[in-house]
Amino acid sequence: MPIDKSVVRIGNASGFYGDRFNAVSEMLTGGDLDYLTGDYLAELTMLILGRDRLKDPKTGYAKTFLRQMEGSLGLAMDNGVQIVVNAGGLNPHGLAVALRELADKLGLDTQVAFVDGDDLISRADELGFGAPLTANAYLGGFGIKAALDRGADVVVTGRVTDASLTVGPAAAAFGWCHRDLDALAGAVVAGHVIECGAQATGGNYAFFTELKSMGHLGFPIAELSADGSSVITKHAGTGGAVTVGTVTAQLLYEIGGPRYLGPDVTTRLDTIRLSQVGDDRVSITGVRGENPPSTLKVSLNHLAGIRNEVDVVLTGLDIEAKAALFQEQFMAALPVEPEQLEWELARLDRPDSDTEEGASALLRCVARDSDPKKVGRPFSATAVELGLATYPGFTLTAPPGNGTPFGVFTPGYVDAALVEHRVTQPDGVSVRIDPSPLRGEVVADTSEPTASTHTDWGTTRRAPLGEIAGARSGDKGGTANIGLWVRSDDEFTWLDETLTVEKVKELLPEVADLVVHRYRLPNLRAINFVIEEVLGRGVADNVRFDPQAKGMGEWLRSRHVDIPTRFNRKV
């Protein structure tokens, strides 16, 4: 049932599996909350949980959450805070059982519900997904709403969208239905802002040197209203800051075009309006929603084989000649060549360095094969055997190893009507959640050109792009996005005219031969670039220097461009 409040406070205490352990207790003791959410899942996490489940079918959920509840479940009950997390992973039922056992042990009458139906592994072949290790559809927020409506104190889910952890509580609090598209879209935006924890309060923020306190960042809170508008804030006295900038940065994280597709609503990111309405308070208004697509995205992970690597240090003069010599000798000495072999020379050295580390580069050789014997210890031991017979100054960063399994993430899509979205209530009754009756075709976003106008900006100076532009980058499978924003209308006009796809390829030569899409978000004074295949087959398979593209935006900010002298902002 809807609660009698004009505003509900939804906090977040986890942005990934491994986030700050004490954040749950800190959020519960730091101030008032109605709901506390936690995001524990990512594409790589699903692979990790899938491997756990292979070893023991009783596992497959985020065990960290259970340990957090040992000290915080009673506190949440005492404060009337309902908890919603996706820590159920591949086994939400197993986590629900473990939570009930914990509640009994603690003497608590805790009502636990779980949401499942996302796991399609038993139907993967018939749905055309082959034989993956994991296959999970991204569910929406109405299963969570149903559980909260029936009085659940804790709701654990499998693979729902990250924003659904916020959409579900908001829909329960205000009695929303599928037709409340604008309100749902507003909740999706609020959920996207808080889902990554401290990234909304100054973490990974391009202009971090401008923030007064970066010690022990607080976690974010969304104060949602019945119309879907919200204010993003944090508990008083915690570190970091909530500003238009920190919220903008998080909004640009891991997105594509202006239409943000979800199971309950397609959110128009180009309708968002942000405003600083107080210290550590940013309002989000004007968000519009459209019908959701007829399909659900599916997270597919496949075990692809074994990976091993050798990293050797090259110091001083003749770096490239040393690298060539070692590569030639190593290839000749290998007992058997693996299916895939990749070499990468990282020139971290600088001339006339006053430290040995500063004079050194790294040469990495990565091998992959379905046969562990081809990439096991004999592979890495080959480098050791060359120790006294190769270039001067030879050394390794690590001893020989046996290699580790690696996986590949690919997205899939399935008709929403074919997925049995279920919620099992505290009394054991299981209810099926129908998909949105509004689902249908969604207009595809198209890559947008630069502005047609060409302003005379007067004199310019050569300086890093990051002097005026912030950036946030991240990964989605093999694709990366870089969202850039500025802080005035004039600066956005200049950015829009200057930063073409061709210019980005010029500034980032590693992506010059790849497909790059460009999307404008004028309300946020932002442009988002989506770079296809820069991360290969995803983080678990990728051996790129920055496998999740977390630093790619900062690399772009460091590149020098001609900035109008009228923009004298210095970071």
Q: How many domains does the chain have?
A: 3
Asked if 163 and 244 sit in the same domain, the reply is yes
Asked if 346 and 376 sit in the same domain, the reply is yes
In a domain, 452, yes or no: no
CATH of the domain at 391: 3.30.70.380
The string of pLDDT tens digits covering residues 209-237 is 999 889 999 999 999 999 999 999 999 99
In a domain, 184, yes or no: yes
Asked if 478 and 420 sit in the same domain, the reply is no
Give the per-residue pLDDT at 571: 41
In a domain, 375, yes or no: yes
Asked if 367 and 397 sit in the same domain, the reply is yes
- Token output for 521: 């978000």
CATH of the domain at 502: 3.30.70
- Token output for 68: 């957090």
- Max distance between CA atoms of the chain, in angstroms, equals 77
Alpha-carbon torsion 409, 414, 416, 419, what sign?
Answer: negative
Residue 483: domain span: 460-564
Asked if 21 and 94 sit in the same domain, the reply is yes
Of the candidates 563, 411, 418, which has an alpha carbon nearest to the alpha carbon of residue 486? 563
Of 362, 382, 402, which marks where a domain is finished? 402
pLDDT above 90 for 491: yes
C-beta separation of 194 from 33 below 8 A: no
Of the candidates 276, 265, 215, 284, which has an alpha carbon nearest to the alpha carbon of residue 242? 276
In a domain, 196, yes or no: yes
Confidence of residue 28 (pLDDT cuts 50, 70, 90): very high
How far apart (Å, rounded) are the C-alpha atoms in residues 386 and 366? Answer: 17
* CA distances, 362 to each of 136, 316, 320, 365, 394 (Å): 38, 12, 11, 10, 11
Asked if 387 and 499 sit in the same domain, the reply is no
Asked if 335 and 355 sit in the same domain, the reply is yes
Give the per-residue pLDDT at 268: 98
Asked if 377 and 416 sit in the same domain, the reply is no
Of 352, 385, 402, which marks where a domain is finished? 402
Asked if 357 and 485 sit in the same domain, the reply is no
Mean pLDDT for the stretch of residues 94-117: 97
Asked if 196 and 313 sit in the same domain, the reply is no
pLDDT above 80 for 569: no
Burial 504-535, CB ≥16 within 10 A → b, else e: bbebbeebeeeebbbbbbebbbbbbbbbeebb
In a domain, 454, yes or no: no
C-beta separation of 566 from 457 below 8 A: yes
The string of pLDDT tens digits covering residues 492-510 is 999 999 999 999 999 999 9
C-beta separation of 264 from 138 below 8 A: no
Which parts of 477-537 are beta strand (E)? 479-485, 516-521, 526-531
Asked if 227 and 86 sit in the same domain, the reply is yes
Residue 220 exposed, middle or buried by CB count within 10 Å (0-12, 13-18, 19+): buried
Asked if 247 and 323 sit in the same domain, the reply is no
pTM tops 0.85, yes or no: yes
Residue 253 exposed, middle or buried by CB count within 10 Å (0-12, 13-18, 19+): buried
The string of pLDDT tens digits covering residues 33-71 is 999 999 999 887 888 898 888 888 889 999 999 999 999
The string of pLDDT tens digits covering residues 509-533 is 999 999 999 999 999 999 999 999 8
